Structure 1
């Protein structure tokens, strides 16, 4: 006898709620249809459902995302880096307090080495016919960031292999919720043949029909809710194996419009604004901003804030981080969020003089300001002009605090975490560094504005 089982999956929504009404309506209708036919259906989210760029997620500390998942009756979820390293320890520890589904995650621990009480390393559910489905999940490792927040994240590969070995003995079908990325998913398919289906995310890849890799089905549904994943498997009760598996992506834009969806989308935005309506500072004058002006007044204030927060010798950031100006009068939490929506942390990087000069020469490339930036936590569009604090130059000489850079001296440079990932400045990626977490740029700007009004 063969039993058909359906899985639906979402990943990397990143709080793009503009797609959620259609996703919700479609998944609710599919679940209803399958159940009316007596078919088993399971719904999973693969992480990064939250993203603090959206005011509703920011204002509710992610709790409203969980309510949306509850509403649809998800069967299990895992976390991505946007849940794991953009919320404070306390906020993540309570993010799923109201969840009506299990959070499956095998490679996250408290600093004492114990798993938090809101996660399951694996989870077992079953169909109406008694077929046992084992769910395992791990998330991408960012050990420096997790450590700063008070968590321990263990090697995903090792944890996964250990959990799968035990899980396979207890279940008929093994499903892996992977927030690791496509290359890691391919490795898993080769190294863990016990896994029947991998539902992936993190690298925002699109697999329209999935792909079979070493007899394992690998699937993924892109990003931002542009697609919903659908999987069908046949479990053979005679051979006790999955005899057939297929995958498909549903284009959200092609789905029927949800009733009053525009009003609902606007309502989520307005709810977020209300949650962020507290007045955080008051300005006695406008602070205009031009992302192409390295001496922009608001950019200069942010540069001072960064320099002071990191207590560094100098500071380096860009005008594109700020999305708008601030006007005279009260400044709300929403206004700060609107101009600095990025989940980007301050960072101190330690460079010797020779390395620092290389970075400064690189920063002066004429093409940088208009460069469009995607990823790295950046939620703006262009990089903008570089903003320098305690840094000057003439001809071919660079100065820190008006003193010529000493090639052998170690300098502390206040900057932003996106510059330490290797894309812009390899020197910063290799260097010793200290991340400040859970503070974002908007937090240090808020503190600076309060100081200015005192």
Structure 2
């Protein structure tokens, strides 16, 4: 749930390899790994991805296609298909993925839907190493996979690591998992050594910062294909002998990693490089384009509900969510989690359709209410602000309607609000926030019989024209200390 970043970082080469090495590749001694991550249901780019895959398969005999998770959630043509997720299953199967791990959003349809996706791709090895599955997902994951490269003594070992911290707790029933620590990262190489593969790859849905830690504590992994935080590394990082690739999200780019190896008595990796390849300039594969057209032809999603008179910011959209559910629940106030508003960074100027609404709210949340005091509400907001999760603490995480608040950030953050002492408020919220945020009434929401989508569509149709309100007071005040 973290916004896109483009990191144009320098390359720190603490190993014999160099991204700048000029070794003329012999196709027979070259492995190409095409990688994707955080697809989030973006069907439109699959025809271009198919073109890229076919291009490399026609030139190189050894090509693997891999994904690092979050293929679901973010496109109504996928999320609201009669069988949620099926369009992605069909397209990934069509392209012939060799290996994949899961992401935190791949559980959003429920465990049965994820199991059906995995069973629908029998040629793909799904590798998840730091998770113990529930009964519905038994026999779906491998803790480790080995992929032989035909006609060579080379084999590729694959581990999958996932971060499930933000997955809805109700979707994780029976599943246990562990966020790797320094000791776990150091043990990764032991697992690779046990299987004696020439090339070792980690499919990581841990995020950029965790991948850097893994490189530090587990040197000489050949490749980490990362995801989760939507970072884009144009040429990757090469540090401690490990090549790290991140390619953003929604198939704007795909990773192309090239590994040149020797097949002597002791097979070895000679060089490795990676790049994020833009899919936009590529032509569409006609066959895959026709499959996509069949999935995206529902006219229901083109119905207009409002018009944006200007580019609408994420903060404004968050306020619309809050005002919509406040009205739907006839509540005193409303709160909504920032991560539940899935607009990219803004809503473009022009017609706003049902498809736009479903993209902004792909989770099909329901509206619930809780009875809360001022202290309860402020505790919820401040606790989330101080959350220890990477990239979550110290951020505006809760949008609101019916009141305002400010956080004074510092060593000991504090909060003030326009809420009144001695009042019991009826607070509208989405069911995800109710079940997953830490506050006294957690999990005790009273359903009002309406979905967030229904509330939002009704509210936007009432507004008709959308504009950004004038700027309000800053919700977060940073404490500044001066020293002489």
Fold shared, TM-score > 0.5 on shorter chain: yes
Kindly indicate whether the alpha-carbon contact (under 8 Å) linking 1:19 and 1:225 is maintained by their aligned counterparts in 2. yes
Q: Is the partner of 1:25 in helix, strand or coil?
A: helix
In 2: Cα distance, 1:205 partner to 1:161 partner: 24
State whether structure 2 residue 422 is matched by structure 1 residue 406.
yes
Deviations 1:163-191 (CA, angstroms, capped at 9, x unpaired): 65233221322110011111111111111
In structure 1, the residue matched to 2:192 is 167
In 1: Cα distance, 2:48 partner to 2:295 partner: 15
In structure 1, the residue matched to 2:258 is 232
Counting only pairs closer than 5 Å after superposition, residues 355-374 of structure 1 correspond to structure 2 as 356=377
Which residue, 16, 21, 31 being the options, matches 2:57?
31
In 2: Cα distance, 1:15 partner to 1:294 partner: 22
Q: Tell me which moved more, 236-245 or 225-234.
A: 236-245
In structure 2, the residue matched to 1:256 is 283
Shift of 1:89: 2.6
In structure 2, the residue matched to 1:139 is 162
Kindly indicate whether the alpha-carbon contact (under 8 Å) linking 2:146 and 2:158 is maintained by their aligned counterparts in 1. yes
Question: What is the number of equivalent residue pairs in this alignment?
Answer: 381
Q: CA RMSD in A?
A: 4.9
State whether structure 2 residue 434 is matched by structure 1 residue 434.
no
Shift of 1:101: 1.0
TM-score, length of structure 2 as denominator length:
0.63
Deviations 1:286-325 (CA, angstroms, capped at 9, x unpaired): x9899979999x98774365x59xxx986335998999xx
Q: Is the partner of 1:156 in helix, strand or coil?
A: coil
In structure 1, the residue matched to 2:429 is 415
In structure 1, the residue matched to 2:374 is 353
In 2: Cα distance, 1:15 partner to 1:397 partner: 39
In structure 1, the residue matched to 2:71 is 49
Structure 1: stretches of 5+ with no match in the other structure: 278-286, 324-334, 362-374, 377-382, 422-427, 450-454
Measured at CA, do residues 160 and 293 of structure 1 come closer, stay the same or move farther in structure 2, by a change above 3 Å?
closer
Which residue, 302, 313, 335 being the options, matches 1:316?
335
Measured at CA, do residues 415 and 7 of structure 1 come closer, stay the same or move farther in structure 2, by a change above 3 Å?
same
Structure 2: stretches of 5+ with no match in the other structure: 1-25, 348-352, 383-390, 405-415, 458-484
Kindly indicate whether the alpha-carbon contact (under 8 Å) linking 2:260 and 2:271 is maintained by their aligned counterparts in 1. yes
Shift of 1:25: 1.6
Which residue, 81, 84, 95 being the options, matches 2:104?
81
State whether structure 2 residue 270 is matched by structure 1 residue 246.
no
Measured at CA, do residues 108 and 304 of structure 1 come closer, stay the same or move farther in structure 2, by a change above 3 Å?
farther
In 2: Cα distance, 1:93 partner to 1:339 partner: 28
In 2: Cα distance, 1:355 partner to 1:120 partner: 43
In 1: Cα distance, 2:299 partner to 2:175 partner: 34
Shift of 1:111: 4.5
In structure 2, the residue matched to 1:267 is 294
State whether structure 2 residue 136 is matched by structure 1 residue 117.
no
In 2: Cα distance, 1:387 partner to 1:289 partner: 22
Deviations 1:179-213 (CA, angstroms, capped at 9, x unpaired): 11111111111112252110111111112221112
State whether structure 2 residue 71 is matched by structure 1 residue 71.
no
Measured at CA, do residues 6 and 294 of structure 1 come closer, stay the same or move farther in structure 2, by a change above 3 Å?
closer
Kindly indicate whether the alpha-carbon contact (under 8 Å) linking 1:11 and 1:45 is maintained by their aligned counterparts in 2. yes
Deviations 1:108-129 (CA, angstroms, capped at 9, x unpaired): 33357x9622111111111121
Kindly indicate whether the alpha-carbon contact (under 8 Å) linking 2:205 and 2:226 is maintained by their aligned counterparts in 1. yes
In 2: Cα distance, 1:288 partner to 1:273 partner: 17
In 2: Cα distance, 1:33 partner to 1:178 partner: 28
In structure 2, the residue matched to 1:15 is 41
Shift of 1:217: 0.5
Q: Tell me which moved more, 141-150 or 173-182.
A: 141-150
Kindly indicate whether the alpha-carbon contact (under 8 Å) linking 1:78 and 1:105 is maintained by their aligned counterparts in 2. yes
